[in-house]
A and B are shown apart, each in its own frame.
Chain A
Amino acid sequence: MEIAPSAVRDETHQHAEEEVLAALVDEYASMLYRVAFSVLHNKADAEDAVQEAFLRVLRHRDRLHEVRDRRVWLIRIVWNLVLDRKRRAKTHAETDDIADLARVLPAEGLSAEQRAAAAQHHAQVLGCVEKLPEKEREVLALSAFDELSSMEIASILGITESSVRSRLFRARNLMAELLQHTRNSR
């Protein structure tokens, strides 16, 4: 049986696409997952978001060569996806998620008591972060990633670099006030 040349061409093309995608997954999946997790605070949801982001990449694979900075482009896709998911899932309380997250944060070399105190502190901080205005919260969350420069954050959010800086400044001041207020009220 003879194989048609077009079928061979399609097979080769598909293989090449798979290779490109596999390279993207290897390079950026971990980073994208962490970005998704920082917003969703849930491992399964974060993984789903990354999967969805790569499906979008798959859909736009013909234009992949046009993308200048693939890392920022991918983060932007994931960022929009997770924000959208979060908005839709805003109906249930997030207090339990935050408490769970605070418990899994690294606390090596601490006693059980100290771990409990650290978890409480993290929960307090994350609770205050949730109280921040949306714009400030977004910038603060992205600034926690050491890999991202303020210019890249600006590109992800679609704002100017100076806006990133001013929002970050506001966010830090607000966080300080909120934490101070929370501790004083206890």
Chain B
Amino acid sequence: MKDPIPFPKSGEPGNHAEEAVATLRAVASLPAREGLEKRLKVGLSHRLRAGLPAASEDEEFGARGWIHGTLMRGLAAAAIVLIVVGGGWGVARYGRRPATPRMIGIPRMAPPGEFSNSGAMRTPQTLTPPSVPKPRHDVRATDNRTRKAKAGKRKKPKASDERNGNAPNDGAPERK
């Protein structure tokens, strides 16, 4: 029995689909020309008497039995293995690169006051730090500034000192 066919839910599209199916059913029900079976039987009988070989006889492997088929398959498999192994050996033989010397890491001792490398064998080369150029000094300007600074540092005499009789020593020899 024919299974129920899923239709689109409802409405016009479903009707269109049904129209299509009706046409296809009409095509599918068109009968063959009269005497189809008879023509086929005559043709087949003729071919059978002419000696149409069975598939098991005309197939290459079947004609010689399963041993031949297995042998051929085994040979093909061996050939594939040889090609793969040979190719791999070729790559290994000619494509080998000289071994790079192994780097021996010497533990770097951290200079005092800096971070250590935590025992790492190798530490990546870090970027060189940016170098800041030293500012160029104007010699005369520097001298003037220095002189002014020295003058500013010279102490003015305080009133308490004068009262106590501690006059500032201006470099003159003290009188007694």
Listed in ascending order, the chain A residues whose CB lies under 8 Å from chain B are 14, 17-18, 21-22, 25-26, 29-30, 33-35, 37-38, 41, 43, 46-47, 50-51, 54-55, 58-63, 101, 104-106, 121-122, 125-126, 128-129, 140-141, 143-146, 148-151, 165, 168-169, 172-173, 175-177, 179-180
Contact = CB atoms under 8 A, between A and B. Distances in A.
Interface string B1-33: 111011110001111110111011111111111
Contact of B6 (A29, A126, A168, A176): A168
A48 to B, nearest CB: 10
B159 to A, nearest CB: 111
User: Chain B contact residues: over half helix, strand or loop, or mixed?
Assistant: helix
B44 A106 contact: no
B55 interface: yes
A177 B36 contact: no
A175 B12 CA distance: 12
16 contacts: A26-B37, A30-B31, A30-B37, A34-B28, A34-B30, A47-B33, A51-B44, A58-B52, A63-B56, A105-B26, A125-B19, A172-B14, A172-B21, A175-B17, A177-B13, A180-B16
Given A51-B43, A176-B16, A180-B12, A25 B24 contact: no
B27 A38 contact: yes
Q: Which 6 A-B pairs have the closest CB atoms?
A: A176-B13, A144-B24, A172-B17, A176-B16, A33-B32, A125-B23
B12 to A, nearest CB: 7
Contacts, number: 153
A62 B54 contact: yes
B36 A180 contact: no
B41 A22 contact: yes
B48 A17 contact: yes
Interface of B: 1-3, 5-8, 12-17, 19-21, 23-33, 36-37, 39-41, 43-45, 47-49, 52-56, 58
B52 A55 contact: yes
Contacts of A122: 23, 26
B163 to A, nearest CB: 116
